[in-house]
Structure 1
């Protein structure tokens, strides 16, 4: 019994597809083997309340740095992108419980968290800044000793504030902390420099940031341990969109520049 030969054009297409899958996922992995909770769908946790990372536009749709970047990653992988709204303090709990595949929320890559999850290569570089009222006598982070400083609960900002001798007040959403600052209920708020600059500019608030950075960090997309194929696929999609300029276009439209790390923290696989 003879086996019919495939047309040359089809063989070439199959060869190209095979080469793409090999370079994307590594030897031995299949295109469908992305370790997704729901095949064909990339679900990612986000708060939706942390401008300019995630927020609702006037049209009622989710937008923001993380939403745009994660959406583009899903598109390049041929997946449907499904944001999952969740509170910050439940984010890692839900990830480990397979409630979503990853989280786009602006999470700092730290040694402690690297023991709990696998991060995609760092996708954004920023740092902690102290936000105060425009007429505040506070000039730098060193001046917050004895002052009441607002921070996001369970965040790295809490450790920074405590280490500098501040009295810490925690919030479930950083927007609540900023509002408390405007109302005079706290002396300052520690938040991400990108978020702070966007909020002050977009809302025309009588606030300013001190000149010094309290930290320099990279943010990453966490994935539950034991999903190397998904990590590799997202890494390649992210690297490609940075290389071809898509990342810069998506992010610059919101904050005026590309925050892509020059030397991203690599995934620990």
Structure 2
């Protein structure tokens, strides 16, 4: 009798597991929508940008329907863990701290961080030149952590929900510097008319301790099959020219890195 009960229980667990297994024909993707050119919301309310096109291409390579979910940056990982979506494709760097909560695919791009200032404010970059300056950064990002750990005792840090908010304050003179991904700063501000009087200062910031090996798609730790499918899809779009086509739509240089 005990053996029969055990066999019935095992059969139930196997059937339950099979019922819960995902076929990944539909993948819900979290995207910020406030980080041009990687993601932004068009006038008609559609999510557009490099991250969006990459997400769609990866889903197509898998054979899955992409379902895009707009999500504020602060709630990205909590939303993933709460199963609001299946993956985050939102310019999220792979770091040891984040790996404690979620898993990541291999990188799908990698660009350095930079400081952006009004021309003439810092004629020669140094730690001394930054002393007393107010630096804006998007909160809860790798840039926030880097700035806090490396320059926190030298500068005043002002944190924002999005880079657009930081841009408004640097234009208004309420902050002196903005720190962010170099491509985001170039495409979101420096390349526009309002950016004509601003420039990059200082070195490329690429310390792996803070910035990790690049930008990846985040998944829940238990979703190893999805991670594998996304990794294979990254290889596919890199090999068949899709990645290059998307890259060239937004940039005139290699964003994948070495």
Above 0.5 in TM-score? Answer: yes
Normalising by structure 1, we get a TM-score of 0.79
Indicate how the Cα distance of structure 1 residues 138 and 249 shifts in structure 2: closer, same or farther if over 3 A, else same.
same
Query: CA–CA distance in 2 between the matches of 1:230 and 1:185?
Result: 44
Give aligned pairs, total: 229
Distance 1:183 1:73, change over 3 A: same
Give how far 1:136 is off: 2.0
Number of the residue aligned with 1:207: 198
- What is the CA distance between 1:34 and its match in structure 2? 7.3
Cα deviation for residue 223 of structure 1 reads: 0.2
Matching residue of 2:224 = 228
1:241 corresponds in structure 2 to 237
Q: Distance in 1 between matches of 2:216 and 2:126?
A: 25
Check whether the contact 2:122–2:201 (CA below 8 A) recurs between aligned residues.
no
Q: Distance in 2 between matches of 1:96 and 1:103?
A: 11
Higher helix share: 2
Indicate which of 121, 145, 154 corresponds to 2:140.
154
Number of the residue aligned with 2:96: 111
Q: Which runs of 5+ in 1 are unaligned?
A: 1-31, 263-269
SS at match of 1:210: strand
Are the counterparts in 1 of residues 111 and 256 from structure 2 also a CA contact under 8 Å?
Answer: no
Q: Comparing both structures, which one devotes a greater share of its residues to strand?
A: 2
Deviation of 1:58 (Å): 5.0
Shift of 1:201: 0.8
Task: Give deviations 1:96-119, integer Å, cap 9, x for gaps.
Answer: 010000111111111111121110
TM-score scaled to structure 2, two decimals?
0.82
Alignment-derived partner of residue 21 in structure 1: none
By how many angstroms is 1:222 displaced?
A: 0.5
1:149 Cα deviation after fit:
0.4
Tell me the equivalent position of 2:155.
166
1:171: Cα distance to partner? 0.3
Aligned to 1:101: 86
Give the CA deviation at 1:141: 5.9
Query: What are the equivalent positions in structure 2 for 1:19-34 lying under 5 Å apart?
Result: none
Unaligned runs of 5+ in 2: 1-18
1:11 is matched with which residue?
none
Change (3 A) 1:240 1:141: farther
Q: State the Cα distance separating 1:59 from its structure 2 match.
A: 5.2
Partner of 2:177: 188
Secondary structure of the 1:261 match is: coil
Q: Give the match's secondary structure for 1:43.
A: strand
Q: 1:57, CA displacement in angstroms?
A: 3.4
Whole-angstrom CA distance in 1 between matches of 2:252 and 2:20: 37
